Amino acid sequence: MLDALTTDSRPEVYAARALDVGQADERRMRDVGGAFGSLPERYLGADDGFHATYLIELEDLGLGWGVELDSEECRVLASPPRDPDVIIGTDASTWLQLREGELSGLDAFRSRRLWARGNLDLAIAFEGFFRLPNGRPPLLHIHDVKAGRARISTLTAGDGSETVVLIHGLGGNKTSFFETVSALTPHYKVHAIDLPGFGSSSKPTRAPFDARWFARSVLRFLDAEGIDRAHVVGNSLGGRVAIEVGLTAPNRVSSLSLLTPSLAWRRWRALAPLVKLLRPELAAIPHSLTTPLVRRHFWGMFGRPERIHPAAADVAVEEFTRTYRSHAARVAFASSARHIYLEEPDGPNGFWTRLAGLEPPAMFVWGDADPLVPLAFCAHVAEVLPEAHQVVLNECGHVPQVELPEDTNGLIHGFMASSAVSSRPGAAGRIGRAARRIRSVGLPAAQPAA
């Protein structure tokens, strides 16, 4: 039965309802105004020389607020800035939940309750600049870590007793792991890093940009953060770097979750002499890379592109094109890609020979529709590392944590839990439930296709 107020046509009833709505809107505006007004006193400060302007749009209210930050001070602007570094859009209810610490910006972004334009690092970093009510620390923060000569931009969230390090793929950055950070922070302390040369990290122009150099950078990051041991998760190039960390310092690695890792090729090596002659420094020469071209390549990485929200695609494309304008970023990209192709597969120091000695427990996750990493790699892995856990995701492309986040993050969580303490209650159940959502695939017979 409908509520009587819903169908009552008496004028006094409508007037009472309008008054209630007006009072609710007034309370909401007062709460929103109080949240913005409290920002200056809750500001934690930033590094010397920092400066950023934000436009916060609360779409349900049809209003925007400007916020300007520098190293010492936060100012809520009387009028929105004309050319802000970042625009963040959400609704009043979500904004108030963010300010109360009831959810993080990553949670809001994952559930499509928040969008951002401009520098995504600055957008996600915003909440980390402010104490929560009652003096509580922010739920996450983005910060720079000095790791040897490198400066590694890092998103840190969670306060679990075990640590997870997430490493992105070629041409990517930590934004590709936002959903994984959100999924793992209830259980772990999570660091999503930008490798040197990528994202917001420093970009040395004369670094080798091979797997061993990246692995040394990751180990220096662990040292700088005082991390003795961590679970390491890597996608594509990040998966290859994670393997190298496991080979170099197995005592520092609790487990390896390797998502479509870039491994040494055994076929299609005829171009190796020519590739050796093509110096990566040539990428520093300005050249056209249009947004439509980047967008086309982005969509081509997925088995079923309709799984990807267009807003997430826009963010990824915008981030890549913004970073790629830097000549140092172009050199890092070209050099890293060159080393992936040129890595020696066999021989005493070849990748597959060394992989047989990998000690930390490892899980390989493949996509059967991956346009970049062939599924035939899993047969080679089975030959040299038969104890490794391997999973093939159905109709999935090259970035499983983006295309199938629930399945992928469930597998990661379950595998890390079972690797850390095999008798931990519920660990086997979690990985079993995740695996049941995925088709069982027999590993193909070993072929020289890769």
Pick 76 or 265 by higher pLDDT: 76
Average pLDDT rounded to a whole number, residues 19-47: 83
Pick 38 or 320 by higher pLDDT: 38
Output the six-digit token pair for 219. 């180990």
> 352, 380 in Cβ contact below 8 A?
yes
Architecture label for domain 32-135: 2-Layer Sandwich (3.30)
Give the alpha-carbon dihedral of 77, 83, 84, 85, to 10 degrees: -150
Q: What is the pLDDT of residues 347-373, one digit of tens each?
A: 999 999 999 999 999 999 999 999 999
Express as a percent the part of the chain with pLDDT over 70: 82
Beta carbons within 10 angstroms of residue 100's beta carbon: 14
- Residue-wise over 277-311: b if at least 16 C-beta within 10 A, else e? eeebeebbeeeeeeeeebbeebeebbbeeeebeee
CA distances from 210 to 125, 236, 302, 389 (A): 29, 13, 26, 26
CA distances from 94 to 35, 58, 105, 291 (A): 12, 9, 9, 31
Q: Locate the domains of the chain by residue range.
A: 32-135, 141-436
Distance of alpha carbon 159 from its chain centroid, rounded? 18
Give residue 398's pLDDT. 96
Q: Is the pLDDT of residue 21 over 70?
A: no
Average pLDDT rounded to a whole number, residues 327-349: 86
Average pLDDT rounded to a whole number, residues 120-137: 91
Query: How far is 375 from 378, CA to CA, in rounded Å?
Result: 6
Architecture label for domain 141-436: 3-Layer(aba) Sandwich (3.40)
Beta carbons within 10 angstroms of residue 424's beta carbon: 12
Q: What is the pLDDT of residues 6-20, one digit of tens each?
A: 334 444 433 443 444
Q: What is the pLDDT of residues 266-311, one digit of tens each?
A: 665 444 444 444 544 444 445 566 788 888 888 999 999 999 888 7
> 315, 119 in Cβ contact below 8 A?
no
Q: Is the pLDDT of residue 65 over 80?
A: yes
Q: Is the pLDDT of residue 159 over 60?
A: yes
> 140, 209 in Cβ contact below 8 A?
no
Average pLDDT rounded to a whole number, residues 339-351: 88
- Bridge partners of 145, per DSSP, are 152
Radius of gyration of the chain (CA): 24
Output the six-digit token pair for 218. 């990751």
Q: What is the pLDDT of residues 396-449, one digit of tens each?
A: 999 999 999 999 999 999 999 998 754 344 444 444 444 444 443 444 433 433
Q: Is the pLDDT of residue 68 over 60?
A: yes
